[in-house]
Amino acid sequence: MGLRDISLKEEYRSDRNDIVAEFFFPCLSHCIEYDRCVDYLSIESLVTISIAFENFSSKQAKIRMITGHRFKTSDLTLFTKLFSTKYTKSFEGKLIKNSKIQKLQDFVNSGQIELKVAIPNSEEVADHFSERIGIFRDEDDDGVAFTGTSKESFSTQTRDFESVDVFTSWNDKSRVERKMQDFEELWSNKTKRMEVYDFMYAVEKNLLKFSADWVFRD
């Protein structure tokens, strides 16, 4: 089954839709590639994405994330361990959380999850990256692109009020292709007014901001 098998709407809005249950999770379970730009990324969100991404059992499945450069201290510590080639310890333990993070590390080690950080390099841009696009692709090379939500908000208790505009390659091919191109240019660090770095390079060069006090809802 692919993305065309999902009954997709042109728009999802918090007052009339469960955006996570009706849009995000169905698309994640029907794709093999997920590209995403978010302003904030948490460990909990990335774990949830990988669990919902049913095709991760296939080695061809892949997630590419571009996020802003602000992190909660606890998340930054875990992300650094996950993506560092120097960290070789296992996360395995008695807690369910540990097993989920260990599974995430397995995906990172196999090259199925990649993370980059975008930082504005122009006075014409505010001090934080906040592009709002995402793209799903399936085995049939169909694509679904969306705009309108600034971060992965999977908590069932606290979610932003938001709307998501959806475009499919079979109904709006040119727009989906444009979103794909925008992401590829950003991923390749070819976008004006932005510098995009591999996550570990940003860590090693002290380019990230972090705080225990910032409250980012998952």
Q: What is the pLDDT of residue 171?
A: 96
**203 vs 209: CA distance, rounded Å:** 10
Q: Is residue 2 part of a domain?
A: no
Q: Is residue 218 part of a domain?
A: no
* Residue located via tokens 């996950």: 82
Cβ atoms 129, 68 nearer than 8 A: yes
Interval 3-28: pLDDT, tens: 999 999 999 998 999 898 999 999 99
Q: Is residue 214 part of a domain?
A: no
86: which DSSP letter?
Answer: T
Torsion angle in degrees (nearest 10) through CA of 183, 187, 189, 193: 50
Enclosing H/E stretch for 175: helix 173-187
* Region 141-169 average pLDDT: 79
β-sheet bridge partners, residue 126: none
Domain count along the chain: 1
Q: Encoding tokens for residue 48?
A: 């949830």
Interval 99-114: pLDDT, tens: 888 888 888 988 999 9
CATH code for position 183: 3.30.870.10
Average pLDDT, the chain: 87
Q: Is residue 6 part of a domain?
A: no
Cβ atoms 56, 32 nearer than 8 A: no
Q: Is residue 129 part of a domain?
A: yes
Structural domain boundaries enclosing 104:
11-209
Q: Is residue 56 part of a domain?
A: yes
Cβ atoms 210, 87 nearer than 8 A: no
Question: Of 150 and 179, which is predicted with more confidence?
Answer: 179
Q: Is residue 3 part of a domain?
A: no
Q: Is residue 116 part of a domain?
A: yes
Question: Of 214 and 71, which is predicted with more confidence?
Answer: 71
